[in-house]
């Protein structure tokens, strides 16, 4: 198996991948789990090359005049900003629906019923400017909770951005919003050191029962037209991922993902931090565009309402509706 690398804005392939192979890319983390079944079944002669890359590089594979990815999983707002006109790519569905959880040294749970308890709290948010932070701000708006990103006061939740390394029971924040599996890993590591850390809330539950549109699956229009059978094969694997993740061993899942990591990338998942509970909290569930486009449109509009440049309204042509 060959792994392809890329430079930002470049369409040069590395690693000797055959040019006629279908190229599928996803960022490490929950989106990689959405491909887990397909990764586990990947064969050298199936004509499809899967590469798990870093989150900060993922847009490079769909950008430029000759983008590399035939199929790509990326944050839904980035998909709307880069590909929303539907000229080159179409969204075939959603892969994940939120994997963000609240952790704190104080074991006070936060739910919809007591969300007002976040007022006056200092909340460190991983990926504040991206989908997780935007979804949190939308949830607070929906629940009538004021927030501030400039100054701390008793009347509002104070949100500020943090890196994963800054998440600690000894840190400045009262509460942190962290993605899985980092949330569980932090809790396990600090608690083992005698510094208790607790999971105290679920952003997806605060946003809504089904979570929020997080990662979009897009496919190149030329690929959709010319390789319909392979597209259907990939979509079937995405649809079966949820069931596969419930039955496969953690070791098998980790091995499937790690064997497809881009060269030099240190993977998020290992048998030390991935459990069946963590997998379930990654909210992997494939929904075709025909079933989720209205929710995506609504989410994009709400993201724009809290941060105007964070997302874009997409054209009808952006959605691939099977005919």
What value does the mean pLDDT take over residues 10-14? 39
Please list, in sequence order, all residues whose beta carbon lies within 8 angstroms of the beta carbon of residue 43, skipping any fewer than 6 positions away: none
* Model pLDDT, residue 19: 57
Closest CA to 181 of 33, 39, 24, 75: 33
Please list, in sequence order, all residues whose beta carbon lies within 8 angstroms of the beta carbon of residue 167, skipping any fewer than 6 positions away: 103, 124, 126, 176, 178, 182, 186
Choice among 3-12, 160-169, 226-235, 276-285 with the minimum mean pLDDT = 3-12
List pLDDT tens digits, range 204-225.
999 987 899 999 999 999 999 9
pTM: 0.90
Is residue 97 over pLDDT 80?
A: yes
Residue 71 burial class via C-beta count within 10 angstroms: exposed 0-12, middle 13-18, buried 19 and up = buried
Contact 289, 320 (CB under 8 A): yes
List pLDDT tens digits, range 216-257.
999 999 999 999 999 999 999 999 999 999 999 999 999 999
List pLDDT tens digits, range 71-92.
999 999 999 999 999 999 999 9
3-class SS of residue 229:
helix
List pLDDT tens digits, range 101-155.
999 999 999 999 999 999 999 999 999 999 999 999 999 999 999 999 999 999 9
Please list, in sequence order, all residues whose beta carbon lies within 8 angstroms of the beta carbon of residue 130, skipping any fewer than 6 positions away: 75, 77
Beta-strand (E) ranges in 64-138? 71-75, 89-96, 100-104, 122-126
* Model pLDDT, residue 210: 87
* Model pLDDT, residue 16: 45
Band the pLDDT of 15: cuts 50, 70, 90.
very low
Contact 203, 130 (CB under 8 A): no
Q: What DSSP letter does each residue of 278-318 carry, written as one string?
A: HHHHT-EEEEEHHHHHHHHHHHHHHHHHHSGGG--PPPGGG
């Amino acid at each position: 198996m060959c792994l392809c690398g890329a430079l930002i804005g470049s369409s040069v392939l590395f690693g000797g991948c055959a040019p006629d192979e279908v190229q599928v890319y996803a960022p490490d983390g929950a989106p990689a789990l959405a491909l887990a079944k397909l990764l586990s079944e990947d064969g050298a002669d199936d004509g499809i090359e899967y590469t798990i890359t870093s989150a900060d590089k993922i847009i490079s594979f769909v950008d430029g005049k000759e983008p590399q990815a035939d199929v790509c999983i990326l944050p839904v707002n980035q998909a709307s900003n880069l590909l929303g006109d539907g000229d080159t790519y179409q969204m075939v569905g959603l892969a994940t629906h939120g994997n963000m959880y609240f952790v704190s040294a104080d074991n006070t749970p936060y739910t919809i019923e007591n969300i007002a308890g976040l007022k006056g709290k200092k909340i460190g948010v991983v990926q504040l400017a991206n989908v997780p932070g935007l979804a949190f701000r939308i949830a607070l708006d929906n629940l009538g909770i004021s927030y501030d990103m400039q100054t701390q006061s008793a009347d509002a939740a104070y949100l500020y951005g943090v890196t994963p390394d800054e998440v600690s029971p000894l840190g400045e924040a009262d509460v942190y919003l962290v993605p899985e599996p980092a949330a569980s890993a932090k809790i396990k590591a600090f608690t083992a050191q005698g510094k208790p850390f607790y999971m105290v809330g679920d952003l997806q539950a605060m946003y809504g029962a089904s979570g929020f549109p997080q990662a979009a699956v897009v496919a190149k229009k030329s690929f959709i037209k010319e390789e319909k059978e392979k597209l259907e094969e990939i979509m079937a694997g995405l649809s079966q991922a949820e069931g596969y993740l419930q039955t496969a061993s953690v070791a098998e899942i980790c091995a499937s993902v790690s064997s497809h990591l881009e060269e030099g990338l240190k993977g998020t998942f290992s048998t030390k931090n991935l459990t069946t509970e963590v997998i379930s909290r990654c909210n992997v569930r494939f929904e075709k565009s025909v079933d989720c486009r209205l929710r995506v449109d609504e989410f994009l509009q709400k993201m724009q309402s809290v941060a105007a440049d964070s997302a874009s309204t997409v054209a009808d042509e952006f959605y691939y509706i099977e005919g």
